[in-house]
Amino acid sequence: MTDEQRSLARRLVLGAAGAAVPLTLAQAQGQAQQGQPATPTQTGPAVLADPRQKYPRPPFPRQEQPWPGLASRMDPKPDHGETSYRGSNRLAGRRALITGGDSGIGRAAAIAYAREGADVAINYLEAEEEDAREVVRLIREAGRKAVAIPGDLRQEEFCARLVEQAARDLGGLDILVNNAARQTAQTSIADITTEQFDSTMKTNLYALFWLTKAALPHLRPGSAIINTASVVAYDPPAALFDYSGTKAAIIAFTRSLAKQLAAQGIRVNAVAPGPFWTPLQPSGGQQPEALPQFGAEAPMGRPGQPAELAPTFVLLASAEASYTTGDVQGATGGRPSS
């Protein structure tokens, strides 16, 4: 047998032993552009995907929804990792409570946590039930326990009940993700009513305080608290006056609490996303006329998709980040995040 024949025979044996059929270059690129992981061939690494083209780019159709908005009614629909996220047992046996878990960033975290082996409780508003049912289905399809707890985080008593029910139904609590938020764009401070200001503060800050206090008795060394901040904490837009203030406060909250809880072995971190395509945007978070170009100002030229943040939430919850606390992880598409 010649050297060429031996080389061909070896490739055939390796190809037969592999579980996946190699993709052509065009097929792999097509999967990457649709947000699906490119399957590696037997003769080389996975094809690189251009991050600028991986997901939809502006302009987007003009669209509006009543608050709080539904992911299922957005155009294009956000990618939360429903078909692309692959777990590797990094959160096996963990129990997580995620607020705003029906859509957007919270939904992406819930899907990823379940596929990493965690049982998950999600909180959402009753108006978001349609999206929440889909998340529950995806968690259960991953073989994990799903707990759905609707309710308004602006009420202190509900926040306490939420934590107690989640801990009871999950058999404990190891991860708290404070993600739910209220965002309403207004061109002038004169247009912000006391009702709006109060609603934003209670959803974004008071609930963070109430939920964290209620969760602490359930958390043990090795547990994690993850808060969702925003790039607007560093570069506040003129139209997001009250929202930006709460996100800056969340970063200070995170860093101060991390110092308090380090002695108990509990880590506290935050994620500060840039422009992400979630129901916050068409349901009042952006001016309707600005939405078609949402994310275009980022150096990547597009908004992020929730699926692109899931790995960050997994890392911060996992034992792999055991020395990471008081940190703020950015995902901004190139916008300055400090």
CATH assignment at residue 259: 3.40.50.720
d(CA 173, CA 192): 37
Residue 16, domain member (yes or no): no
Range 208-229 average pLDDT: 98
pLDDT at 12: 34
Residue 69, domain member (yes or no): no
Residue 181, domain member (yes or no): yes
Q: Which domain holds residue 174?
A: 86-331
Low-confidence winner among 19-23, 146-150, 269-273 (lowest mean pLDDT): 19-23
Above pLDDT 90, what percent of the chain?
85
In degrees and rounded to multiples of 5, residue 198 shows phi and psi of -65, -40
Q: How many domains does the chain have?
A: 1
Residue 225 confidence (pLDDT) above 80: yes
pLDDT at 214: 98
Range 254-267 average pLDDT: 98
Instruction: Dump strand ranges (E) for 52-174.
Output: 95-99, 119-124, 146-150
Residue 74 confidence (pLDDT) above 50: yes
Range 253-271 average pLDDT: 98
The yes-or-no answer on residue 243 being catalytic is: yes
Residue 51, domain member (yes or no): no
Range 108-119 average pLDDT: 98
Its pTM stands at: 0.86
pLDDT at 44: 62
Please pick, among 55, 124, 234, 243, the residue that the annotation labels catalytic.
243
Q: How would you write 73-99 as a 3-class SS string?
A: HCCCCCCCCCCCCCCCCCCCCCEEEEE
In degrees and rounded to multiples of 5, residue 304 shows phi and psi of -75, 160
Residues 16-59: tens digit of each pLDDT: 333 333 333 333 333 333 344 433 334 567 789 999 999 999 99
Range 103-111 average pLDDT: 98
Residue 10 confidence (pLDDT) above 50: no
Peptide bond preceding 68: is omega within 30 degrees of 0, i.e. cis? yes
Q: Which of 323, 106, 117, 331 is nearest to 227 (CA)?
A: 106
pLDDT at 45: 72
**Per DSSP, what are the bridge partners of residue 272?**
330
Above pLDDT 70, what percent of the chain?
87
**Per DSSP, what are the bridge partners of residue 328?**
270
**Per DSSP, what are the bridge partners of residue 330?**
272
pLDDT at 9: 42
Residue 337 confidence (pLDDT) above 80: no
Residues 120-133: tens digit of each pLDDT: 999 999 999 999 99
Residue 40, domain member (yes or no): no
Q: Which of 176, 177, 144 is nearest to 136 (CA)?
A: 144
